[in-house]
Chain A
Amino acid sequence: MINKIFATPEAALADVPDGATVMISGFGGAGMPALLIDGLIAQGATNLTVVNNNAGNADSGLAALIGAGRVRKILCTFPRQADSWHFDKLYRAGKLELELVPQGTLAERIRAAGAGIGAFFTPTAFGTRLAEGKETRHINGRDYVLEYPIHADYALLKADRADRWGNLSYRKTARNFAPIMASAAKCTVVQVRETVALGELDPETVVTPGIFVQRVIKSPS
């Protein structure tokens, strides 16, 4: 019997090695998997490359992972926030590498990884410093920049409901990056508000099919 539901974050994250690339869902706080990030901090893996839209807020979640010195490099679109002090401090000290990516390019690079695409041309950032040194091409009267997929070893995601096959549904704008990150990682770990019996999720409302999901944790209510 397939059962992707794990008992604890510790069990679901036990094998994350030092140096892993970890995608973390969320846009600010919406959709951020706080339980799994806390689990990763406790687990101790370090020298991580993290992919997220932001670089953490205040002292919890991704900010705590950064503050604990576990992150070597971050790929994100908007690190600077009023309360991104952990990122700001390490970045300014040269202890945290930043790859700044336009938001649509970040999303498409993640999507491309999950979809088996080798690279793609996008018009975004052409003629700007974020395209410096990148291959470009003129196609049908428009200029494009070549971008490569972002693959991950792990994706830590938050969803609303899951069944034991790993089918997922989300809640409102907390969905954001989670469905594409689920497809781009070798091992996708999801925290959900509720686990339900197989068949309880209306197949028409499953946003992420279980084929993209390896492990599920139910948040304590």
Chain B
Amino acid sequence: MKKFDRKQMAARVAQDIPEGAYVNLGIGLPTLVADYLPKGREIILHSENGVLGIGPRPPEGEEDEDLINAGKEPVTLLAGGSYFHHADSFAMIRGRHLDYCVLGAFQVSAAGDLANWHTGAPDAIPAVGGAMDLAVGAKQVLVMMEHLTKDGKSKLVERCSYPLTGARCVNRIYTDLAVIDVTPDGLHLVEIVAEDLSFDELQKLSGVPLRYRAAA
């Protein structure tokens, strides 16, 4: 079996973002998606700290400390972009104006519960940022994560053991092995992306039953 690497995962997510979409990319792995959005599609990127129409990272030496994304990295603004304050920014999120958000995850349950903000460790310093707002607010919540933890456990679980970010909020999961939809009757395999991986093998690696719906 050959798993997708991070760039391939980002490109696979990017392929599903349509022309005209308003999209928030989470910190970390999801931020990579910006580099793989298909050329020729106009897609407008949002960031929690009050910006729509984010462009590429500026060349070295041209960074502006007043122009950053939610990961506090320097960005640029595309023609047509805009700035706004935090309450407006989260009105866009919570008010169901964003078409997609892409979030990382520790675990996703069969019901679409998302755990991505806290490991539950008692001595951990908690930090939540905008994750809980994005989870309940975006029209489509896409999760991007490795299929397995570092010690080989499935990150798809019957019930999240980590504290929840949102309940029943995930629509689609992109892993380094497969693309999976969350539906009212459980998880449906959309596509295996890893090379030389059968459905049965994927099922054995996954902590929850997967259904496979042959194309109609």
Within 29-77 of A, Cβ neighbours of B (below 8 Å) are at 29-31, 77
On whether A180 and B66 interact (CB within 8 A), knowing A128-B163, A128-B164, the answer reads no
Looking at B7-15, B88-96, B151-159, B208-216, the stretch in contact with chain A turns out to be B88-96
Within 86-145 of B, Cβ neighbours of A (below 8 Å) are at 86-87, 89-90, 93-94, 118, 123, 125-133, 136-137
B186 lies within 8 A of chain A by Cβ: no
A-contact 0/1 string along B37-72, CB 8 Å cutoff: 000000000011111000000000000111110101
* Shortest Cβ gap from B86 to chain A (Å): 4
Looking at A14-22, A118-126, A133-141, the stretch in contact with chain B turns out to be A118-126
On whether A176 and B128 interact (CB within 8 A), knowing A27-B68, A124-B94, A126-B167, the answer reads no
A191 lies within 8 A of chain B by Cβ: no
On whether A128 and B48 interact (CB within 8 A), knowing A28-B68, A104-B137, the answer reads no
* Shortest Cβ gap from A152 to chain B (Å): 15
On whether A127 and B128 interact (CB within 8 A), knowing A28-B68, A30-B68, A104-B93, the answer reads no
Point out the residues of chain A lying under 8 angstroms from B86, CB to CB. Answer: 27, 103, 106-107, 110, 176-177, 180
Docked complex Cα distance between A31 and B131 (Å): 22
- CB <8 Å contact, A173 and B68: yes
Which of under 10, 10 to 19, 20 to 34, or 35 or more describes the interface residues of B? 35 or more
- CB <8 Å contact, B68 and A107: no
* Shortest Cβ gap from A52 to chain B (Å): 12
A102 lies within 8 A of chain B by Cβ: yes
* Shortest Cβ gap from A218 to chain B (Å): 17
* Shortest Cβ gap from A204 to chain B (Å): 14
* Shortest Cβ gap from B23 to chain A (Å): 17
Point out the residues of chain B lying under 8 angstroms from A177, CB to CB. Answer: 85-86
**Number of A positions contacting B (CB below 8 A):** 47
Considering residues B51, B72, B87, which has the most beta carbons from chain A within 10 angstroms of its beta carbon?
Answer: B87
- CB <8 Å contact, B132 and A102: yes
On whether A128 and B87 interact (CB within 8 A), knowing A105-B133, A172-B64, A173-B66, the answer reads no
Docked complex Cα distance between A179 and B137 (Å): 23
- CB <8 Å contact, A103 and B66: no
- CB <8 Å contact, A110 and B87: yes
Contact of A172 among B83, B87, B129 (CB under 8 A): B83
* Shortest Cβ gap from B142 to chain A (Å): 18
Contact of A124 among B49, B84, B87, B136 (CB under 8 A): B136
A207 lies within 8 A of chain B by Cβ: yes
Docked complex Cα distance between A173 and B68 (Å): 7
On whether A173 and B83 interact (CB within 8 A), knowing A79-B127, A124-B136, the answer reads yes
- CB <8 Å contact, B94 and A104: yes
Point out the residues of chain B lying under 8 angstroms from A105, CB to CB. Answer: 132-133
* Shortest Cβ gap from A60 to chain B (Å): 13
* Shortest Cβ gap from B82 to chain A (Å): 11
- CB <8 Å contact, A107 and B90: yes
A163 lies within 8 A of chain B by Cβ: no
Within 108-154 of A, Cβ neighbours of B (below 8 Å) are at 108, 110-111, 122-130
A171 lies within 8 A of chain B by Cβ: yes
Point out the residues of chain A lying under 8 angstroms from B164, CB to CB. Answer: 127-129
Docked complex Cα distance between A106 and B131 (Å): 13
Point out the residues of chain A lying under 8 angstroms from B167, CB to CB. Answer: 126-128
Docked complex Cα distance between A177 and B118 (Å): 25
Closest Cβ neighbor of B94 among chain A residues: A104
Considering residues B86, B94, B133, B136, which has the most beta carbons from chain A within 10 angstroms of its beta carbon?
Answer: B86
A–B complex contacts, Cβ < 8 Å, 5 sampled: A27-B50, A77-B130, A80-B125, A107-B89, A177-B86
Q: A100-B127, A110-B87 are in contact. List 6 more A-B contacts (CB 8 A).
A: A28-B72, A30-B49, A79-B125, A104-B48, A124-B136, A175-B50
